[in-house]
Amino acid sequence: MLRIFKLSMLSLRVRIFLSMIVVIIVSSILLASISIVQFKNEAKEYHRERLERKENAVREHINYVLSTTTYPLTTENLELIFKDKIHELAHIHNTEINVYDLEGKLLKSSKESFSVDKTAAPIPKYILKLVRSSIEKRYEDIKTINGIKNRSSFTQIKDDKFKPLGVLNLPYQEDDGFYDKELNSFLIRLGQVYSFMLIVAFGLAYFLSSYITKSLKTISDKLNETSLNQKNEKILLTASSKEINLLINAYNQMVDELEKSAIKLAQSEREEAWREMAKQVAHEIKNPLTPMRLTVQSFQRKFNPEDPNILQKMKDYSETLIQQIDTMSAVASAFSNFASMPAQQNETLNVVEVVELALDIFNEEHIIFESDSPEIISKIDRTQLIRIITNLVKNAIQSIPEEQETKTVKVTVKKESNNVLILVEDNGIGIKAEDMNRIFEPKFTTKSSGMGLGLGIIKNIIENYKGTIVFDTEFGKGTCFTVALPIINS
């Protein structure tokens, strides 16, 4: 499906570039159009003035002929007066001359053929009327015949007492060849100049658009890099535009406010986390306190020194208290481990060997260990690596129901690129879909005992090494945790 092109889809840089090019092109078209109109107006004015000059010269000559003729100055005698003179006048002034009577009938013409004079059409009545009604007793008629513009001037011929004798007609055919040649020459030169200007404009528009949008590109890149989870850098730039400087100042102020908000948010999150953890620890400690209190009260109420079973009862009483104390001690240890991880004591070791040794503490026969290489050397904290393996294997064992016949926990170590991968796979009950997003949350657990801090602790350890931990599970079939730790050379 074709998408409709929109100007708003273009970047500001391209829009500035195109705008400057369009301005150059439109201005060149306007200048060419104005030049064409100007040339045509000049040509029109030239032909009009030239006809007027010819007409004035012919009229002066006719007046001279009329003043020197021996014939009486009447309309009927005009044909006799200009019988020979009309050709002389036409030759002198290089124009065709026609003399009509006052009714518009042709009396004499400078044309060579006399048959034309007799068959020539008379002057239209409306032209005669316009000549008589005008102040100058003159009318100029313009007609286009076969694409050529023809002008004709009609002027009254008067005697020395300003009495009308006839009508003088001067046909004039406009020849625009000179102006057309000049116009074509001008347009060619204009096209050459604007072609050069267009090439210069392309380079200038590209430079200016890049210069104008350079600051905006810097701001855009900084905005894309801005995040609440990191320290954002300010824009140390002074732009030539006041508006862009205001935008930079606004961004720098936003960075300051964002940093303050991030500090407040982190502090609030820490306080909330410790508040929730304190509630959980208090809850876990109260659980063993209740049976301890009931045991003490029951022993106090039923104590009888003469009872023959007093020693057995004392033993049961002591074991109950010790069991509950151990539970409280485990809760305290788990909280302490999560709250304050020991410093890393990195040492160069064979990861395969350490993982295999960590599995020795488990007595389950269904634990399987595999490695594609007998030796993968890396620099890592031995204790923390053992803690990762122990926690994952322990969780895998506990995820398999006691009544399940076939039990398998498979631990695999292999090298991939510059990472060492540790896979712990079991065929237990798996993880429910609704619990997948919470599996690494502190205090979340699917077991009936424990605080749910184990996976949170090892996730912190792995991330401190710039590693990752992910899992793939299918409810009812099992789970596979994959730990990827970068291999650190000594």
How are beta strands 367-371 and 409-416 bridged, if at all?
parallel
Topology (CATH level 3) of domain 346-486:
Heat Shock Protein 90 (3.30.565)
Domain ranges of the chain: 8-68+176-218, 97-171, 242-339, 346-486
Judge if 97-171 and 242-339 fold alike in CATH terms: no
Question: The CATH number of 97-171 is which of 3.30.450.290, 2.60.40.420, 3.40.50.10440, 3.30.70.1140?
Answer: 3.30.450.290
- List of long-range contacts for 398-406, beta carbons under 8 Å, 24+ apart: 398/428, 398/447, 399/426, 399/428, 399/429, 399/430, 399/478, 399/479, 400/426, 400/427, 400/428, 400/429, 401/428, 401/429, 404/428
Contact indicator for 462, 422 with CB cutoff of 8 Å: no
Positive/negative CA dihedral, 52, 57, 63, 66:
negative
Assign a CATH topology to domain 242-339. Answer: Helix Hairpins (1.10.287)
Element (DSSP H or E) covering residue 353? helix 351-358
- Pairwise CA distance, residues 248 & 230, whole Å: 20
Structure tokens at 383: 């204790």
pLDDT in 10s for each residue of the chain, 490 residues: 444 445 555 666 677 777 777 887 888 788 878 877 887 787 777 778 887 888 888 888 888 888 888 888 888 888 888 887 888 888 888 888 888 888 888 888 887 654 444 556 788 888 888 888 888 888 888 887 776 777 888 888 888 788 888 888 888 776 666 666 777 787 788 778 878 877 887 787 777 777 766 666 666 676 666 665 566 666 666 655 666 677 777 777 777 777 777 777 767 776 776 676 666 666 566 656 656 676 677 677 777 777 777 777 777 777 767 766 776 776 666 666 655 555 567 888 899 998 888 887 777 888 999 998 889 898 888 878 888 888 899 888 988 988 888 899 999 999 988 899 999 999 998 888 888 877 777 655 555 444 445 677 788 888 888 899 999 988 888 999 999 999 887 6
Whole-structure pTM value: 0.37
Which two three-digit tokens encode residue 480?
A: 């596979």
